Amino acid sequence: MKRGQPIGIFDSGIGGLTVLRELKKLLPNESFVYVGDTAHVPYGNKSNDSIIKFSKKLTSFLVEQHNVKLVIIACNTASSIVINDLNKSFSVPFIDVISPLKSYLLKPNNEFIQNIGVIGTHNTISSNAYNQFLKEVNINFKIFSKACPLFVPIIEEGLADHEVSKIMIAEYLDSLMKNKIHALILGCTHYPILLNQISSYLGKDVKIINSAYVVASYTKEYLNENAEQNQALTTTKLYLTDESQHFNMFATKFLNTDFNYIKKINLF
């Protein structure tokens, strides 16, 4: 691993761009290669076998064609399913979007968090990955999870500020509020785009944990410890496995991210 190498990021589609946004804020001297599997998006309704197969292809692309020093799995569905298989098949280090929560939750100012809400896609929630992980961090955590499958289409259709978004937030989060959660983990990379709306519903007493920020922050610490921070001129490249009509809305409305180039690739 060398300083000059870029950081690789993969996601099922474009939701992981919220992670890229936080990474670019915290690591302005790094180069990034992002590959979004828009040919198969969403992963939330695919089988584990398929998600593992897709993730290996995306990782091979990042490692073999872009010589990345690190791969960030910017997709909760994939994070909860593929990490073991990828570690067996590749020597590059992986950072998923779940594990970095450990050091975050163990910080002194987060000691008040005991009842934790987790929201995500069907697959992320039914995989129980967050439950297992959080119980390992602290066996006394009480975890309340809820699949919120309509959030992604609401976000991708630009309806974050529409009445429908408010209604579904109330519908999905009501049971979590009744369980008096202290914090809510946004277990899907799309969800930061609903941050303000979710925050309005939850009020000030519930802390929202934005995985995109937590992962970026963890990645910065990791690079510092391993003296791998880049100092060179930076580039940000984006590859998609299929065209994406939602990309422009996402990239321009929410991310303000400049890409050196965007390219469609045939991986499958």
| Footprint on this chain of a copy of itself (rule: CB under 8 A) | 38-41, 45-47, 50, 122, 149-150, 152-154, 156-157, 159, 162-164, 167-168, 171, 242-246, 264, 268
| Euclidean distance between CA atoms 46 and 40, whole angstroms | 9
Which C-beta is closer to a copy of itself: that of 55 or that of 210?
Answer: 55
For the sheet containing 183-186, what is the strand order?
A: 142-147, 115-120, 183-186, 207-210
Compare residues 152 and 183 and give the one whose CB is closer to a copy of itself: 152
- Of residues 136 and 157, the one with the C-beta less far from a copy of itself: 157
Please state the closest distance from residue 10 (CB atom) to a copy of itself, in A: 18
Minimal distance, residue 114 CB to a copy of itself, in Å: 31
Active-site residue among 17, 20, 75, 184? Answer: 75
> Quick one: 46 or 69, whose CB is closer to a copy of itself?
46
Q: How far apart, in whole angstroms, are the C-alpha atoms of residue 65 and residue 129?
A: 31
User: Strand, coil or helix: what is 31?
Assistant: coil
Euclidean distance between CA atoms 101 and 218, whole angstroms = 9
Q: Which two tokens stand for residue 147?
A: 């699949």
- Which of 20, 97, 119, 188 is catalytic? The answer is 188
**Token reading at 183:** 């914090």
How many other CB atoms are found less than 10 A from the CB of residue 60?
13
Cα diameter, the chain: 50
Give min distance, CB of 163 to a copy of itself, in A: 6
Q: How far is the CB of 38 from a copy of itself (least distance, A)?
A: 8
Q: Among this protein's residues, is 188 annotated catalytic?
A: yes
Residue in 95, 97, 140, 93 with CA at minimum distance from that of residue 121: 97
Nearer to a copy of itself, 37 or 228 (CB): 37
Count how many Cα atoms sit within 13 Å of the Cα of residue 128 in the half-sphere of its side chain: 3
Give the shortest CB-245-to-a copy of itself separation in angstroms.
Answer: 6
Which residues carry out catalysis?
75, 188
